């Protein structure tokens, strides 16, 4: 799927979807996910409230997102209407799956250890949630 290519450019120092998308790509996808059906003009008008950019830049990036398979575009009159090919939640889940699968394939022990340490140091409730998930998975495995 298209995410394999995105994950190869993983940028851990970035925030949110900018870890796997370019900065403007992530901003555009947030607008598309929020509205579901948009034109380049819709996205441009939304983003120009926050930053200076050219209409043609938004058009180019949206075309690239369509080429990558994240957006679908349909002609409507003299413009195109863009819709996401994947929901924001599913995109997030796939990013997490790809990143963790990659880490666990090569670095299972340190990855698991770090995750448990990180969860425990930040929020005991998250660590408890992890314990609950593990128990549920073990019960399912015994059935």
The pLDDT of residue 51 is 93
Q: How confident is the model at residue 2 (pLDDT cuts 50, 70, 90)?
A: low
Burial class (CB in 10 A: 0-12, 13-18, 19+), 73: middle
pLDDT digits (tens, 9 = 90+) for 70-123: 999 999 999 999 999 999 999 999 888 888 888 899 999 998 898 888 888 877
The pLDDT of residue 125 is 86
Other beta carbons less than 10 A from residue 43's beta carbon:
23
- C-alpha–C-alpha distance, residues 106 and 66, integer Å: 32
pLDDT digits (tens, 9 = 90+) for 31-81: 999 999 999 999 999 999 999 999 999 999 999 999 989 999 999 999 999
pLDDT (average), residues 19-40: 96
Q: The pTM is what?
A: 0.81
- Are 33 and 25 in contact by the 8 Å Cβ rule? The answer is no
Nearest Cα to Cα of residue 70 among 107, 110, 20, 128: 20
The pLDDT of residue 36 is 96
142 compared with 93, residue with greater pLDDT:
93
Main-chain phi, psi angles of 79, to 5 degrees: -125, 180
Other beta carbons less than 10 A from residue 82's beta carbon:
26
Is 7 a residue whose pLDDT tops 80?
A: no
What is the chain's length? 143
């Amino acid at each position: 799927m298209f995410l394999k290519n995105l994950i190869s450019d993983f940028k851990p120092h970035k925030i949110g979807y900018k870890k796997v998308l370019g900065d403007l790509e992530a901003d555009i996808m947030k607008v598309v996910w929020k509205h579901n059906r948009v034109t380049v003009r819709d996205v441009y008008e939304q983003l120009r409230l926050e930053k200076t950019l050219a209409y043609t830049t938004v058009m180019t990036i949206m075309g690239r997102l369509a080429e990558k398979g994240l957006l679908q575009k349909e002609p409507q009159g003299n413009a195109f209407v863009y819709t996401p090919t994947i929901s924001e939640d599913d995109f997030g889940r796939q990013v997490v799956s790809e990143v963790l699968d990659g880490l666990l394939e090569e670095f299972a022990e340190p990855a698991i250890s770090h995750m448990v340490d990180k969860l425990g140091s930040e929020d005991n409730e998250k660590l408890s949630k992890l314990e609950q998930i593990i128990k549920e998975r073990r019960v399912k495995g015994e059935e």
